[in-house]
Structure 1
C-alpha cells in the first residue's frame, strides 16, 4: 500500500492483498506468470441497478451505495491487486474469478452460518423458508477453475 491509498481502501482485505501481491512478485517463476485471484461477486455486482447482461472488467461495485461492509471491502481489495499488477507486476498477468456464495464441504470442524441455514431449510427446522433468491457455487468448482491441473 502507498500513502496515496484512501482510508476506505485500507481494509484488512486490502492490506492482506498487498502482502500477497508482494509475495506473488517475488515468486513469479513458481506461478508461471499468471496470478488467479479468487475475488467475490461483491467486488463487481452491488450498488447499481439489476441487469441481465454479463459483467465485464469495466464493472465495479459502487462502494458509495448502501451495501454491506463485506461487499464494500471486496472492491478496493481487488482494485489494489490490479494496481499492483499494473505498477509492480513486472510481467505478471492477473485473472480474477468472482464467485457468488461459495458452499461445499468444510475442511475442519467449522460450521459456517450459510451451511447451517441451508441445512435448517432442508431439514424443515426453520419455521419458515425465507423468501429470498441467491446463487451458489460449489467450493470444488471454484478450486478447479483457480488451480492448475
Structure 2
C-alpha cells in the first residue's frame, strides 16, 4: 500500500484514477475545490474507510502556496498524482483562465512537495498531446510524433485565442515541471503523461449532460442529433480511453522504471465518421439523430495524418489499449445513465 495525494479528484481523468488506486489497495487523499464535491466522491465509495480515502480542500490551485497544507499527511505521502488543470474554451482571459492555473498549479504543487513532503518519491503529472504537437505543421502525414517532440508555441502566440492558450498552458506547465526537477533536484522523480483526445465513460455522480468534460461533448452532441447534417469534429485524430489513461497514471506511480520519463499515451486513430458509425451500429434508437449513411466527409485529412508512437507506454507501463468502438459504446451507455 502506498499513500497517494491525488489532485483534482472530481475531474474526468482523476475520478477514474481514484477508482484504480482504491482497487489496488492504495490509501488516497484527493484535493477538491468544495466540500460538496468531497461529499459526492465519498458517497460513491461507501466501502472506502477514512483511512483509505480522505479529502483536502484546495479552492484555487493558482494561488501561491495552495498545496502547502494538502501535501502534509500522517502517514506521509510517497506519491503525488497531479491531474488538476483546466480544459475548456469558456475563456475571457487566457492568462488568468488557462495559463496561470496550469503553470502555477503545477509548479506550486512541486514547490509544496519539496518544502513540506520530503517522503514523496514519485510525482506523476497529467500533461497532454497539446504539449507535443506542432500545430503549425497541420496534419503532417510524414511525421511520427514521439515523446521527443515539443509544441514550439511562444508566450506571445499563447494569447491569440483560447485553443492556442490551452495548448500553451499544457506545454508551459509540463516544461516548468521538468525545469523544476532539473534545477531544484528534489527527492522525487517525475513522470508525465501526454494523452490526446480522452474519450470513455463518465463517472456519473460527478457529471450531468450539461457539465460534461470537453472531450466527450462530441459524443453527447452526436446522440442528441446536433450533427444530423455533418459529422462531429475529427481533430486531433488520435485518442485514448480514460480507463487506459487512468491505469497508466497509476502504473507511472508504481513502476520504478517510469521515473524521469515522459509518456505519449494514445490508442491510435479516430475521426468523426468512425464515432457516428460506432453509435449507428450499437444504438439503433439514435438512428434518426445521426447523419445519413451516404453523407460525405467525416474522415481523415486528404493526404493522411501524422503517426503516433506509443511504444514507450507499452514497454515501460505495460499499456494495453481498448478499441474505439468499445470506448464509444461504454461512453454512450454512461451518458444514457444520466439522461441522454
TM-score w.r.t. the length of structure 2 is 0.36
| SS of 2:107 mapped into structure 1 | helix
* Number of aligned residue pairs: 139
| SS of 2:135 mapped into structure 1 | coil
For 1:40-55, what aligned pairs fall within 5 Å after superposition?
Answer: 40-49=128-137, 50=140, 51-55=142-146
| SS of 1:97 mapped into structure 2 | strand
Compared CA separation, residues 113 and 98, structure 1 to 2 (3 A) = closer
Q: Which moved more, 1:118-127 or 1:17-26?
A: 118-127
Say which of 232, 239, 244 aligns to 1:136: 239
- Cα distance between partner residues in 1 of 2:215 and 2:249: 22
- Cα distance between partner residues in 2 of 1:100 and 1:61: 13
For 1:92-103, what aligned pairs fall within 5 Å after superposition?
Answer: 92-103=188-199
| SS of 2:240 mapped into structure 1 | strand
**Which consecutive unaligned segments of at least 5 residues does structure 2 have?**
1-63, 65-94, 255-340
Q: CA RMSD in A?
A: 2.7
User: Over alpha carbons, which structure has the higher Rg?
Assistant: 2
Does structure 1 conserve the Cα–Cα contact (< 8 Å) formed by 2:218 and 2:232?
Answer: no
- Please name the residue that 1:145 is paired with: 248
User: Aligned pair 1:62/2:164, yes or no?
Assistant: no
| Alpha-carbon offset, residue 39 of structure 1 | 0.5
Say which of 127, 136, 150 aligns to 1:39: 127
User: Aligned pair 1:114/2:210, yes or no?
Assistant: no
- Cα distance between partner residues in 2 of 1:88 and 1:80: 11
| Alpha-carbon offset, residue 84 of structure 1 | 1.0
Q: Which moved more, 1:89-98 or 1:119-128?
A: 119-128
Say which of 92, 113, 117 aligns to 1:24: 113
Bigger relative CO (Cα 8 Å, ≥ 6 apart):
1
- Please name the residue that 1:4 is paired with: none
| Alpha-carbon offset, residue 100 of structure 1 | 0.5
**Which consecutive unaligned segments of at least 5 residues does structure 1 have?**
2-7
- Please name the residue that 1:74 is paired with: 170
